[in-house]
Amino acid sequence: MRLIILDRDGVINFDSESFIKSPREWIPIPGSLEAIARLNQAGYRVVVATNQSGVARGKFDMVTLNAIHQKMHDSAQKAGGEIDAIFFCPHAADEDCDCRKPKAGMLNAIARRLNVSLKGVPAVGDSLRDLQAGFVVGCVPYLVLTGKGEKTLEKGGLPPGTQTFDNLAAVVDHLLLMPTAAGSDAGASKESRKKQ
C-alpha cells in the first residue's frame, strides 16, 4: 500500500491567521485537489493529519469542523480524488495532549488504524511541527512553501532530509517520478541540499 500524509491548512487549502471557521472559509489552493487525484490514480491512499485547536479555543465547534471536512471530501471527489481519512487534534497547545503536532500521537494513530509502518511514508506540511511529527515516526518530510512554508524555511531547523517544493502539486510531480513510494535517500539528500 502506498500512503501519504498531508497537513490541511496551508497544504490543501489556504491558511488563515484567524482560523478556518466555516466551510465558506475553506478554499483549496489551486492544483491541490487535482494533485490528490493524481496520487490516487498512482495508487496512493491520502490521509490528512491536522491540528485544529480552534475547537478548544471556541472558534468553531465539532459540527462546523465536520462540515468543513465534508466540503473538503466533496471538493476532492469533484476533482477526481479521494481523501481516505482525516485525523485531527482538537486540543489547545496548553492541554499537553499527545496528538497535537509536533508530537506523534496523531501519526501513530494513523499507523494503528491502517496497520502499517510509517517508515518512508511522505509527510507533507507547511510548518516545522508538521515535519517534526512525521520525522519522529520515520516519515520522509516534505515542506511546501504555501501557507506558512516560506516562514518555516527562513527559520530553518528542518528535520534531516527535508525536501522543499513550491506546493503540493510540485511534491506530487516529484513523487510520481520516483520508482517506489518510499523514495530514494540519495534523491532526498540531493534535493534537500539544493533547496535549503
Whether 7 is a known active-site residue: answer yes
Q: How large a percentage of the chain has pLDDT more than 70?
A: 91
Spatial CA neighbour of 29 closest among 79, 101, 100, 90:
79
CATH superfamily membership of 2-195: HAD superfamily/HAD-like (3.40.50.1000)
pLDDT per residue as tens digits for the range 86-129: 999 999 999 999 999 999 999 999 999 999 999 999 999 999 99
Predicted local confidence at residue 179, as pLDDT: 73
Separation between Cα atoms, residue 144 and residue 150, nearest integer Å: 8
Q: How large a percentage of the chain has pLDDT more than 90?
A: 90
Predicted local confidence at residue 53, as pLDDT: 96
The answer to whether residue 192 scores a pLDDT higher than 60 is no
pLDDT per residue as tens digits for the range 130-140: 999 999 999 99
pTM of the model: 0.90
Whether 15 is a known active-site residue: answer no
Which residue out of 7, 15, 126, 130 is catalytically annotated? 7
What is the overall mean pLDDT for the chain? Answer: 92
Which residue out of 9, 15, 126, 130 is catalytically annotated? 9
Separation between Cα atoms, residue 74 and residue 33, nearest integer Å: 10
